Amino acid sequence: MSQFSGVELNHQLIAGTWRAGSSERSATDNNPFDDSVITDIQQASAADVDKAYEAARKAQPEWAALTPSKRSAIIYKAAELLEEKRAEIVELLIQESGSTRSKANLEVTLAANITREAASFPGRTHGRISPSNTQGKENRVYRVAKGVVGVISPWNFPLHLSIRSVAPALALGNAVVIKAASDTPITGGLIPSRIFEEAGVPAGVISNVTGSGSEIGDHFVTHAIPKLISFTGSTPVGRRVGELAINGGPMKNVSLELGGNAPFIVLADADVDKAAQDAAVGSFLHQGQICMAINRVIVDASIHDEFVEKFVAAAKHIPAGDPFEDKTMVGPIINDSQLDSVKQKIAQAKEEGARVALEGPIEGRLVHPHVFTDVTREMEIARDEIFGPLIGVLKADDETHAIELANDPEFGLSAAIYSTDIDHASQVALQIESGMVHINDLTVNDEPHVMFGGMKNSGLGRFNGDWAIEEFTDDRWIGVKRS
């Protein structure tokens, strides 16, 4: 496939024109499973970033001035195009990001759902009128578009995690410039840009730039034009983005969705069979390369051995291989750097005394499921975000100990609790320091109308629904004195 919807895969939409970047650097976009070349991309330069932002600044006021119904219709059309082009997009997600077919289809569904939800935002953007202590005056609070939004998206769910910011931002009257991850410039940058362009978003309102962080990364964040940087990625890089956004130039807002270390808590009264099966899926879906993936399984001591036996049995049956095959659930690690990180975590878990309960082979970038038991809270496998198909099981003395273990790390994005007592589990959930907690369900959950976001070092801000409306708009106080 050399094109998507009539656009060459090595092009970028910069200020209304599909073209190559103007940097002297080029990069090869490879399939992580077999290293086949998808395309070679001439990278964007800092000058290209300037042109994209300047075009966005000029085009944004007219876009924001469209009636809510007109903007809604365009955004809804984009959702329809995502569905119409599903097969083409799925193929590119498999090729570029190593997504399995089931995961790629899920990603298109998530992207289409958030775009449909965003299509309702123009009619849900409400201000308010407040009384004044000054005689003859009223206070009007308007909710208005921020202006231009810079979106930096990751490689694990490149389509969805670009569109999760792009669709709401556009729907609310902003212009957008996307910088997708270097591993996924097509599915994270080109496809979202082309979808919204085809849907009717005017020239200049959306652009995407593909370039190395060393050449355009800081400039993208510190640029004077964007009023908000929406970043999804690792906590260390997110910290850097936040610092640059505040200290690197004109101060701007940031929305940061960062790392996770999701605990999967199995209480003494849990349905062990269901918990074991769900833990296997939630640990190894998309090779564990999901911010919400289960990173730690915390099991009450009274059922620990029974759970481990059933969990390992379930993990043994997780199929790993070619992501183009329908049965495959675990595909390739995205790149060699990430593969080295996964290998290092496996080696360190062994060195620190974790017991290997399941050790699948490593074939190139294909890492089969690994399960460790006898894991303690001090071990790196229990404290760091893994982002690979390996998981540690911790034994909790009791419920209080399980809560302590769950709250140990610096992260607080998503969590799960398994129990047959729903009301009690809900009370336990309130004690977990996590932005999202799911009872008898996977840690991997995302619904377009319900808030998404974390606590502690898992980020700032919230996505989806009314929370997205707040993120991508500003309150403006207009005081009106009549006499």
pLDDT at 1 over 90: no
pLDDT at 129 over 80: yes
Q: Region 130-140: what's the mean pLDDT?
A: 95
**Nearest in space to 77 (alpha carbons), one of 169, 186, 167, 205:** 167
Q: What is the pLDDT of residue 319?
A: 94
Q: What is the pLDDT of residue 259?
A: 94
Q: How confident is the model at residue 454 (pLDDT cuts 50, 70, 90)?
A: very high
Locate the DSSP E strands across 428-472. 436-439, 455-456, 459-460
CA angle at 233 for the pair 229 and 235, rounded to the nearest 5° = 100
Q: In whole angstroms, what is the distance from residue 272 CA to residue 418 CA?
A: 9
Q: Region 91-109: what's the mean pLDDT?
A: 97
pLDDT at 257 over 90: yes
pLDDT at 133 over 90: yes
Q: What is the pLDDT of residue 349?
A: 97
Q: Which two tokens stand for residue 118?
A: 């965003």
| 257 catalytic per annotation | yes
Give the global pTM: 0.96
* pLDDT tens track for 35-70: 999 999 999 999 999 999 999 999 999 999 999 999
Q: Region 406-429: what's the mean pLDDT?
A: 97
Q: Of these residues, 107, 117, 257, 471, which one is catalytic?
A: 257
Query: Within the chain, what is the greatest distance between any pair of CA atoms?
Result: 79
pLDDT at 13 over 90: yes
Q: Which two tokens stand for residue 329?
A: 């659930």
* pLDDT tens track for 370-410: 999 999 999 999 999 999 999 999 999 999 999 999 999 99
Question: How far apart are the two ends of the chain, measured CA to CA in Å?
Answer: 67
| Partners of 150 in the β-ladder | 177, 229
Percent of the chain with pLDDT over 90: 98
pLDDT at 422 over 80: yes
Domains of the chain are 3-258+458-481 (3.40.605.10), 262-447 (3.40.309.10)
Number of Cβ within a 10 Å radius of residue 376: 14
Q: Which two tokens stand for residue 63?
A: 């876009």
**Distance, CA of 349 to chain centre:** 27
Evaluate whether 318 touches 167 at the Cβ level (below 8 Å).
Answer: no
pLDDT at 122 over 80: yes
Q: What is the pLDDT of residue 240?
A: 96
pLDDT at 483 over 90: no
Percent of the chain with pLDDT over 70: 100
Q: What is the pLDDT of residue 482?
A: 87
pLDDT at 449 over 90: yes
Q: What is the pLDDT of residue 298?
A: 98
Q: Which two tokens stand for residue 442?
A: 């996977």
Which residue would you say has higher pLDDT here, 249 or 433? Answer: 433
Q: What is the pLDDT of residue 329?
A: 95
Q: Region 152-174: what's the mean pLDDT?
A: 98
* pLDDT tens track for 267-323: 999 999 999 999 999 999 999 999 999 999 999 999 999 999 999 999 999 999 999
Q: What is the pLDDT of residue 77?
A: 98
**Nearest in space to 260 (alpha carbons), one of 299, 293, 298:** 293
Q: Region 159-163: what's the mean pLDDT?
A: 98
Locate the DSSP E strands across 31-80. 37-42
Evaluate whether 381 touches 345 at the Cβ level (below 8 Å).
Answer: yes
Q: In whole angstroms, what is the distance from residue 297 CA to residue 279 CA?
A: 8
Q: How confident is the model at residue 202 (pLDDT cuts 50, 70, 90)?
A: very high
Q: How confident is the model at residue 458 (pLDDT cuts 50, 70, 90)?
A: very high
Arithmetic mean of pLDDT over the chain: 97
pLDDT at 355 over 80: yes
| Partners of 403 in the β-ladder | none
Q: In whole angstroms, what is the distance from residue 422 CA to residue 425 CA?
A: 5
